Each structure stands twice: as C-alpha cells, then as structure tokens.
Structure 1
C-alpha cells in the first residue's frame, strides 16, 4: 500500500526556484501507532535489479530494490531493515545495509549555480564494492514488524582492474597509509569543507584546479548548511527525508572526486552543533529539548541513550550510502570536539570508544576512523584508543601577527604526534584563525607547510583551511604541483618515515640554513633544506633570499654502497641535478654538496 507524501525540498533548486514541492510515491501507509505486528502486512521484495552483471574490481555495484512494506520512517532500521549478503568467490560473506533515497539529478552545467531535479520516484538501493575477482552471489532480505522477505539469489562477475582498492594503515609502515593492493598512499591536499552560493557548482572549479596540480585529498563536513542529513527541527531527528537533496550532493561529490583521483575525509559532526558559544548551532539542533529533542544540554549527546541510538541510526545510513566509496579515506567523528559546550574528557573518550566499535561493526568495508580537536595537545586518552586509526592536528596562528614560521609549526607538531605510533598529519592549518591569509597573498606559507610535511614523518601533507576565500581566488593551486611531482618521482613509500635534523656546513654569515629529513621504509632518504629567514613574515618585511652555494652536509647511518641523489627545484617542480655517490664502509657517512639555491631545495637519496 502506498500514499502520496509532499516533500518540501528547500535546497539546491537554483535562482529561479528557492522552494520546490515534490510529490513522491513512498511506502508510508500508516502511523507507527497503527502498525501492529499482528496486523501489519508481510513485506514483499518485488524485484532486485543490478546496475550491471559484470563489474571491474573495486568498482560500484548498485542493486535497485523494489519493496513493499509498512513503516512510518524508512530511515529507521527497527521499522524496515534492508540488507544484502554478498558471497565472494572465496566463500567469504559480506553483509551490507540498504537505504532509502530520492533520486535527484544535477541539471546545471559545470561551474554554474546548482540546479537539481527529481526525475523519478523514491526507491531503495544497496551499494557494494567487490574486492575479489571472480563470480559473486548475493541475496537481499528485508525485515519489518510485519515479518521478513528474502529475494532469489543473484550473481555477477568481477573482472580485473587497475583500481588499487580501499585505503588502510600500511602493513609495511604503521605510520603511513596504503591501498589494499599494497601501493603506498601519501595525501596532498586542502580542506574543502562546504560549498558557497553555487552549491556543488563551486566544487567543479575547486576540484578541477586541485587535481590539475596533483592534489589527491580533501576534507569535507556534513554540516547543517551543506551536506548534513539530520537537522531542521524535530522532523529532522532520525528522519532524513527532507535532506535527500543534501545526500544527493554528497553522492555527486564522491563520484566527481573519484573521477579526479581525489580522496575524501568525511567529517560527521562539527563542534558548533553542540555549542551555544563557538560557531553556535545548539539553538537549532534537533537534539535540543527546546526543539523536541531528547537533550536538555549539549553535553548530553555523549551520554544520553536516546541520542546515542539516533546517532547510530545516522551512522548506519551514512555507511549504507557512502561506505562503498574507495575514495573515502576516513570517517572523522568530530571536527574539534573539544569546542563543544561543557566538554568532559572522560565522557567524550568513552563515547569515541563506543562509537568506534559500533562504526567498525556497521562498516563492511572497514574504512579508517579518526576525530579532531582544536587544541593540538589533546587528547591522549582518545588517540590511544584502538578504534582511532590515525591522529590529526589542527593549528592556527594568533591574530594580528599570525604564525610567523609555519614550517617550524608543522615539523614540531607532526613529530610530536609520532608518540602514538599511528599515522599522523596536520588536517587544518591557517596563518590566522580569524580570517583568510591576506597577509600572504602569494602563498609562501602554503609552500612551506607542504614541503615541511615531506620531512615531518607525516602520512599526508598539511591541509590549509581557507580554500574558498584564499586558495581559489588567488589561484594558489600551483604550490601543490612541485610537491606532487616530487612524490610521484620518489614514490609515496619514501614518506611517513623516521624524521631527523641535519647540520648544514659552509653557511655564510647572515644566513640561517636548516636541513630536515626523514628515512622512509623503502630505504629512501628525503631532505628539505631551507633558508630559515625566508618565511612569509620576513619576506613581507622585505627580506629577499639570494642564491647561496658551497654548502654541504653529512648524513650518517647509511649502509655502504652506491646511492642515487636527486636534487629537486621546489618551485618549478623539476630536477636540478641527479648524481651517483658512494658510501664507503665504516661509519656509513655520506657527504653531500648542495646545489645553489635561494629559498629552499629538496632531495631524495635512493640506494642503487
């Protein structure tokens, strides 16, 4: 049985229509109070249609499920629980949750203000990514208060492909990332938290420019003003119908980013949702008792049983809809959770422990899990949890002066986080927390944090914050290319290694030359040598680094043998020179003569 439901869809319909009333056919025949187990109709699976019967390895298989059932809320698995069980050629079974959706479509051209249409009726879908080549089988089941139904078995073939799989903590290097096929991954990117006035049309330009310059990682928020699916008062609590346009936007973003080779860290909650003080949204939060929710105060989110159940329900939907994505690097529980009101370390730690276990059980694809804090010294109790796969740092300079030496900040904080013996990197960085980096319009600090990350032991580059009002309008994407080409040349496995500091000899009076390095798991040693006075702040005051030559440094601890030394222009993104050197027996010390350089230079030393 079906009835017509009017869905008010207020977002993403262009400048002509700001509000759209769509009438969609969905199975909502009775209120929850009228649907009793004894009288409810048994659910029926009318059909299960795969989008293909042959799928390349690590590519998406969609099952379009036509079902008839009685329920009040299609997003509540206690009312209607759709699942697919996939059996691999090896006999391994993988259980994947299904989900309800409205099938939006983007009609606007790339870069234009987003225009969405709703061409079809509501439907149920299961998304699955196979990780074995060969013949797969599947069975779909649905369970409601009225009973259960199971489909006839289906089958599809998985063919070989060059897709490397999901991203994990590397088996060869516990401080780095790698794909399922063992290929190392080192992220290079920036935050792209949410869209502006053009909605997803903004991402057309942002993603294109980042990808053109070798970027491969962004960080995105499921915030109320963009991709969040649970908001808008009491009707939005546990019911995502009126934000299906936002869910579609996230569908689009994952697909677009994947086409460009860009991975996503998906932030599930932001601090303002539970704050009346810092970026406050608590007054509009559907969990707030004043809005009909279960919580009298924000901190109750971490302890209240009903709030936890609602969040677990949201996690299930998020996993069902986007867990398939191989370009999802990680789920991030919170952006800067320590800025939530009445922050309680013990309660928040216990919540992270519990929810990490829940999410791990829900996610059949076993994506990485993390969280974040505004204070980079927090929170050892959470970073030490087995459920936290990697650590992150957020760091901003203080107004009005800003961070005077960004490279030093990245080196110090990334290296400090190594004590947790997990991958780490700086996921948010800004010269000044209060405004875009107008003090440095040419992006000298962006150059510095990217190159500092290559020798800080980090598993990814530092990610600048001001993407929409600094990087893009100043077209600073070119800073990513020299780093990305260097990493491509030496191999991502050369990074996330053991950092060290080297002494530079022959430095003329008046110059401060510093050398930093790290030894990668693959035997490659990476160096970054810089004029420590040539920061954005000093250069703003008129300092111009002149070419310096005749410098040399000693590297110890190398095995005897021949090494190939590549010197790299960090601005042009090209080799300066490449030579072969020999380390004799004994102390294993290598003396390197540096090429002439002005602001900085990089090198990679590889055993032959």
Structure 2
C-alpha cells in the first residue's frame, strides 16, 4: 500500500486530498476507478466550491469505495445464465408478474445501463410487442419487518444481486417474455422466452391517465371513471411521530395505510429527504439503510425494498401514489446531510457538478438523472398505484435551464413507457413550468389538470379538519382536478382520516372526465336569507409556506398580491423582519390587496421578537406611518400583545408596507383580512361548477370561522330558510341531491322543474356547509 497526496489550487485557495489508494506493486496502476475519478475530476474542474466539503469527506469516500468494490463483476463473457418466472403461471390483469434473471457479465456498476443494459421484450396477446426496462435488485429486509421511509432503519441483506422484470398485464391471454442484455462493448444476448397467462379481472383498477374527453381531469384506464385525488401526504415516517393508536409501534406505512384505507384515494410518498434512492453514505451507521448508499449511479437497495413494500401496501388499500423524487433541500448549500454537502452529483464525490446551479445545465448530470428515472419506472412502473411522478418539491420559479430540464425529463418518461402504460409527469416548479408538465400546480388552466398537493389548513388541531374539508370541496367545485394536504401526523393526531371520504365517494359518481366543465359565476347565483339583527365578520388567512428559512433567505419574496376574499399560503415569504443594522437582510414587506370595502381591517399577528426593543413601522396606502413598539425581548409575545388591527381605506390595489425601523428582528406568524358584513346573505359563500347536463354547488357559512371567534368573540350562527336560485342549461327536470359535506350523508332528494330555466331551491337550514348536486333529465330519467 502506498500513500498518495494530491494538491490542487488557484492562488491562495488550496485543497488537499489525502487518501490511501491501492497501488499494484507489479505494474504501478491504480486499482480503484472511483478514486481515479475523484482525483482527475478535481484536477479538471478546479476547486471552486470545495470549501463546502464535509469534515468527514475521507471517511465517506472510503465507505463509497468499499460498497462499490463489492458490486464489481469480472465474468469473462456476457451470458444470461437463467431467466425464470417469479410469479404464478396465471396472473390477473392489473396484478404484478415478475421475472428473475441471473446474468454473467463484466461490469463495475450493475445499476448503470451504460455498462449492462437489461430489458424485456414482451409479445402481448394481440401480437403487439413492447419493450420495458429491467432492473438490478439486491435482496434485503428490515429487521422488524415494518415499512419505514427514513434513514437509519435497521436492515439486513438476504441474498445475492440479480435482475428482475416487473409487468402488470392489461390484456387477457398469453404473454411471451424474452430478456435482452447488452454489455458496454455492445455485445447483445437474449434468453429463451418465458410465457405466462393473464386472466380477465373485473376488479382491475387500471392505470391513471389524463382524461381523453376532458383533459382538465384524470381517469382510470380500466373503466374510464373519474379519478379525483384526495388524501394526505404520507411522505415519510419519522421516529418522533406520535400516533393516535398503537403508540408503542414505530411509525410505519402498515399503520398509516390501514388508517387511510377506505377514506382517501391518493397520497404523495417521498423518495428523497432522508429516504433518497441515490445519495452518499454521509453517516457511518452499520446494519442500517445508511450502508446502502454508494454515491452517483448507485441505488440504495434498502430504500428500494422499502418502496417495494409501500407500493404493495398501496395496492392492497387502493391508494394511488404520486412519487416525489427530489426536495429543494438537496440543492441548498449547507453542511447538513440532506443538502448539497451530501449530494451524489457534487463533484467532491465524483459527481458532474461543481455547484448546485450546474444540476440542470450539465449534460452529464441530465444523463445520470435519466438513469435514475429509468430505474424508478423499471422497478415500480408496473404498479397501478403509481399515479404520477413529481420532481422537485417546494421549488417555485424556474429559470430557462430548469424549463429545458423539465421538458427533457417529461419526454424521456413518456418515451420509456410508450405502448405500455400512461405516466403523468409533473413538478412543483410553477409559472412557465406548468406549460411543460402534465399537470399544473393549483392554477386552473386550459387543457391540463390542476392539483393542489399541499392545501392551506389551520394549524390548530381544533379547526384542522374543518379547514381541510373546506379546501377539498372548494377545490372540487371550482374546477381543480385534486386536492391533498400536509401533514399525515396532524391528520392522525386529529383522527381526521374520514374528512376525505365524502368527496372521494361523490367524485366516483361524477362524469367530469367525460364532459366539458365550466365554473359558475357567483353573480349568477341569487341567495335570499331572512334578515337578522346581527352583523358579521369574515376573515381570510395568509400564512408563510414552503422551505424558506425564518432567517435571511435569498429565495424569499418581499411583495405579495392578495385577493382579500380568498385565503392562501404565501409561497417564499420569510416572516422575519430585520432592522437596518442588519443591512443586507433589512427589507420592507409589502402586501397589495386587489379590492377592499368600507370597514375592512388588515390584521398582523406577531409571534416572537428579538433582543431589546423592536419598533415596527406600518404604512397603509398613503396614510401616515403608524409605529408599534415591543419591549423586553427576546421572547414570544402573549396573546394580548400579538394582534395589530389596521383599518383599510376603500378601493383597489391597496398597499400595506411593513418595516422594522429599530431593534434587531421581529417574526410575524400570519396576516389576515377581515371584512365587515351587515347582510346575512353575505355569510353564504357559493362555489359552483357546471358539467354536461348537471353541476355541483358548495355553500359555506362564513360565520363558522375560528378567527371571528378569537378576535371578535363572534359565535357561529345557523342560517335558516335560505332561498337559492340560478340558471340551468335546459328546461328539463332537475334531479337534485343535498349532501352533508362532513358525513357525506344525503340529506334530501327531489325532482324540480325549472321555471324559465331558473332552478329554485329552499334550504331549511345551513350550519357549516352544504353540497348541492343536480342533473337534468327527461321524463324517462335519461
């Protein structure tokens, strides 16, 4: 063994890599290609950004090298030694068939299709042939048998690595599968065909695709029924999670999917953020899933096994999965093991990128990313529970390089599954990105579905279920294609799993995917409510959201456009204000309200102040500046100190500018708009959607609001004897049902004949909310 020291530098910037490399005493050649890549890459790329290298870099590199050496094969020639069926001879359509192959070949990395490319050619019962990718599998299992998507789970290896093919037949009849393998020299061999029979399956749910008749929605391929995703993100499991039931059991998907079964139909699972498929072994944790990492182009077999189990559970409980492949933390320049400091594309580990910004522009990085997408689709693309792939959670505004990257990855995914299954590819990047991806982020646009993946909700457990329920029904009745919420821990803590069931059950009956839809203008709906002596407040909430630091963050926004009538998350809002002494962090915060009415208020809720005395300056429109002084920091404010009420002028584009003029720092919790309403009918908020010969209308009672109770001591009021009228498309009779959106129970059914194409309804009482659904039919019921 010889010690090799390498120094590179520019000016005063010097980096030293000092590692023990195996050197052949016979010919002096380096025996570790991994170390050679590290050294040459450093020489070629220079040292820009290397100051971010972790203190344990040498130990990480040794662990990577040790893992990679274990996978090297020196077989003299390419040969498929055995290819057999791992499933029964007969499988039902929509269920998994699996083939197992043992292949002799020369390669360093069996996961890299450039070194050993394995695929399957399948001849379908109709004579058509398709090609799907195979994947390399290293058998392993969790020690406790539980399914947990997180790092550091105790795992053990249970066998030798080999290749597999997974496929869910969609046609009944005989299937013939031939395995094809190609090595890095271009030599190709193929196996003898393996056959299996697929049987018809009336319970086959099919895959999810964008609806053919109305691409604003999703539908299944088996029965062409509407799929309207509603559920909670069960993104991961963490050791600290407290559960409503079985608190002694570690958090696991067996528990969460059992609780979700029959309640919701969709979730998001993260193949990232402590459950990365491709990462570096940043932590030395023997006999855990940390030992499965080996850097660029190597996929953790323990995380992959966990996701196998997640999909099997999802299929059992009829839950569709949007698979999240990356999180914005991965490109943050910090020293945390979930950031660029541990990213396999970082050139300090032999990756192709000097800086996070190179991730999207580097041609080499894009090639490696496609290999990971190929592996994901090869291993889990068979599953009817794989609904969509979602890249880059919590990202927002894309630059041109990102747009090019998204376009390339979407096209790659669609080519990979061509003739086999539909795939829906999207990203949390917004704006121009939504014109590229298969769905948009929460913004209804022509020609594609719009989804809210993490809807706004109350953080207070008492109000949580009601706030999520409101978002679900508002979303459905406003034309969204699906609504999901975060986090699963709060859903479980509040025992709120059932909030999804009513909307899931109703959408299963609706033909939104088969007919054009259009929103109902509120001005077209007349609501008459008997007068009352009370006056009312209606409050909209605006809260910070996303992975924007509470401290200075270069991605933070300082100006926000607000619709006072619609509460929302404020993406990229850093809620901490800094005084001028922190010059580079000091910035005013501006809110611009599109429309205000007489008597409206703007409310600030202040959570915490920094040391000393903090002076907050607030200017509303052109009014004089008002100052608010908070003393005796650093501390959290008492409830009596938290709220600032600002009267608003009447008009359009009213601005509120907030600045911390003296002190150190001050943190806002949220901002709110309050509107004073004197007429009872103003309390009824309608949202409606027409489809074909019918429609759906969601009515909210605005007096059921936690903020009006907390701020104005205003208790909810039940509205009685409402009269509702709106125009319908034809004079045919309307079959009308009224639903309780909380229980899903049908409250009434009636057939009403429109008068001059106006439908008139009487609602005996309106507590929190009501759902009205109607369809126009002729006398025969058609």
Please tell me the TM-score bracket, short chain as reference. 0.7 to 0.9
Match of 2:78, SS state, is coil
Q: Specify the alignment match of 1:383 in structure 2.
A: 434
* C-alpha contact (below 8 Å) 1:48/1:64 kept by paired residues: yes
Whole-angstrom CA distance in 2 between matches of 1:93 and 1:446: 46
Aligned to 1:8: none
DSSP 3-state at the match of 2:471: helix
Question: Structure 1: how far apart are the matches of 2:309 and 2:688?
Answer: 39
Residue equivalent to 1:316: 374
1:545 aligns with 2:716: yes
Distance in 2, matches of 1:536 and 1:344, equals 36
Distance 1:355 1:507, change over 3 A: farther
Distance (whole Å) between structure 2 residues aligned to residue 165 and residue 504 of structure 1 = 43
Counterparts of 2:508 and 2:85 in 1: how far apart (Å)?
A: 41
2:212 to 142, 146, 171: 171
- Is structure 2 residue 137 aligned with structure 1 residue 83? no
Aligned pair partner of 1:427 in 453, 458, 462? 453
Q: Does 1:138 align with 2:177?
A: yes
Do the aligned residues in 1 keep the contact of 2:211 with 2:513 (CA within 8 Å)?
no
Per-residue CA deviations over 1:236-272 (Å, capped at 9, x if unaligned) read: 11112xx210011111101101110100001111111
The corresponding residue for 1:595 is 764
Query: Would the alpha carbon gap of residues 493 and 579 (structure 1) be closer, same or farther in structure 2, given more than 3 Å must change?
Result: farther
CA distances 1:119-146 after superposition (whole Å, capped 9, x unpaired): 3322210011112112221211111136
Aligned with 1:486: secondary structure?
Answer: helix
CA contact (8 A) 2:701 2:766 kept: no
The equivalent of 1:62 in structure 2 is: 98
Match of 1:216 among 262, 265, 282: 265
CA separation of 1:44 and 1:110: change in aligned 2, threshold 3 A: closer
Secondary structure of 1:41's aligned partner: strand
Match of 2:774 among 590, 597, 605: 605
Asked if 2 retains the 8 angstrom alpha-carbon contact of 1:232 and 1:285, the reply is: no
Deviation at 1:506, TM superposition (A): 2.6
Q: Could you say which residue in structure 1 is the equivalent of 2:502?
A: 482
From 72, 96, 104, the equivalent of 1:28 is: 72
Q: Distance in 1 between matches of 2:334 and 2:86?
A: 48
CA distance in 2, matches of 1:292, 1:254: 32
The unaligned stretches of length 5 or more in structure 2 are: 1-62, 242-249, 283-292, 536-679, 778-782
Q: 1:543 to 1:446 in 2, by over 3 A?
A: farther
> How many Å separate the matches in 1 of 2:349 and 2:320?
36
Please show how residues 35-114 of structure 1 align to structure 2 within 5 Å.
Answer: 40-106=76-142, 108=144
Q: Which residue of 1 aligns with 2:239?
A: 197
Q: Deviations over 1:81-139 (max 9, x none)?
A: 11101111222211111111122235636699976443332221001111211222121
Of structures 1 and 2, the larger Rg is shown by 2
3-state SS in 2 of match to 1:205: helix
Summarize the Cα distance change of 1:70–1:278 in structure 2 as closer, same or farther, 3 Å threshold: closer
1:401 maps to none
- Aligned equivalent of 1:372: 428
- The answer for the alignment partner of 1:413 in structure 2 is none
In structure 1, which of residues 159, 162, 187 is the aligned counterpart of residue 229 of structure 2?
A: 187
Tell me the CA shift for residue 307 of structure 1. Answer: 0.7
Q: Look up the match of 1:126.
A: 165
C-alpha offsets along residues 442-461 of structure 1, whole Å, 9 cap, x if unaligned?
5321121122122110111x
Query: What SS does the corresponding residue of 2:746 show, helix, strand or coil?
Result: strand
Structure richer in strand, relative to its length: 2
Partners of 2:240 and 2:87 in 1: how far apart? 31
SS in structure 1 opposite 2:110?
coil
8 Å CA contact retained: 2:703, 2:715: no
Matched, 1:262 2:319: yes
Taking structure 1 as reference, are residues 281 and 360 closer, same or farther at Cα in structure 2, changes over 3 Å only? same
Q: Compared with structure 1, are the counterparts of its residues 110 and 65 closer, same or farther at alpha carbon in structure 2 (3 Å cutoff)?
A: closer
Work out whether residues 118 and 181 of structure 2, in 8 Å CA contact, stay in contact via their aligned partners in 1: yes
1:564/1:581 contact within 8 Å kept: yes
Residue of 512, 526, 532 corresponding to 2:696: 526
Greater shift after overlay, 290-299 or 190-199? 190-199
Alignment partners' CA distance in 1, 2:227 and 2:97: 25
Instruction: Provide, for residues 389-438 of structure 1, a one-character-per-residue CA deviation record: whole Å limited to 9, x for no partner.
Output: 11123xxxxxxxxxxxxxxxxxxxxxxx2234311121112447xxxx13
Residue 463 of structure 1: aligned partner: 484
- Conserved? CA contact 1:193–1:220, under 8 Å: yes
Q: Secondary structure at the match of 1:78?
A: coil
For the residues of structure 2 that align with 1:109 and 1:442, how far apart are their CA atoms?
A: 33
- The yes-or-no answer on 1:503 pairing with 2:526 is yes
Q: Contact conserved, 1:185 with 1:492, CA < 8 A, in 2?
A: no
TM-score by length of 2: 0.64
Partner in structure 2 of residue 355 of structure 1? 409
Distance 2:69 2:198 in 1: 34
Q: Is the contact between residue 172 and residue 199 of structure 2 (CA under 8 Å) also seen in structure 1? A: yes
**Residue aligning to 1:271:** 328
2:612 alignment partner in structure 1: none
Could you tell me whether the CA contact under 8 Å between 1:111 and 1:205 is conserved in 2? no
Query: CA–CA distance in 1 between the matches of 2:775 and 2:280?
Result: 53
**Contact between 1:445 and 1:536, CA under 8 Å: does it hold in 2?**
no
Instruction: Give TM-score, length-normalised by structure 1.
Output: 0.81
1:588 CA drift (Å):
1.6
Gaps of 5+ in 1: 1-18, 394-416
Partner of residue 302, structure 1:
360
Checking the alignment, whether the CA contact within 8 Å between 1:552 and 1:591 is kept in structure 2 is yes
Residue deviations 1:296-320 (CA, integer Å, cap 9, x gap): 1111010111111111111111111
Give secondary structure in 1 for the equivalent of 2:344: coil
Contact 1:43 1:143 in 2 (8 A): no
Bigger Cα displacement from structure 2, 531-540 vs 202-211: 531-540
In the alignment, is the contact (CA less than 8 A) between 2:208 and 2:422 conserved in 1? Answer: no
Worse-superposed segment, 147-156 or 76-85: 147-156
CA contact (8 A) 1:130 1:158 kept: yes
Structure-to-structure mapping, 1:207-246, within 5 angstroms: 207-212=257-262, 214-232=263-281, 235-240=294-299, 243-246=300-303
Shift of 1:291: 3.2
Per the TM alignment, residue 154 of structure 1 is displaced from its structure 2 partner at its CA by 2.0
SS in 2 for 1:321: helix
What's the offset of the Cα at 1:276? 2.0
Q: Distance in 1 between matches of 2:349 and 2:531?
A: 67
Measured in 1, the distance between the counterparts of 2:204 and 2:516 equals 23
- The alpha carbon displacement at 1:286 in A equals 1.8
Task: Report the aligned-residue RMSD.
Answer: 2.9
In 2, Cα distance between the equivalents of 1:370 and 1:204? Answer: 27
Specify whether residues 138 and 276 from structure 1 end up closer, same or farther in structure 2 by C-alpha distance, changes over 3 A only.
same
Deviates more, 1:289-298 or 1:183-192: 289-298
Cα deviation 1:51-94 (Å, max 9, x = unaligned): 12211112111001122111110011011111101111222211
Counterparts of 1:156 and 1:535 in 2: how far apart (Å)?
A: 59
8 Å CA contact 1:46, 1:68 repeated in 2: no
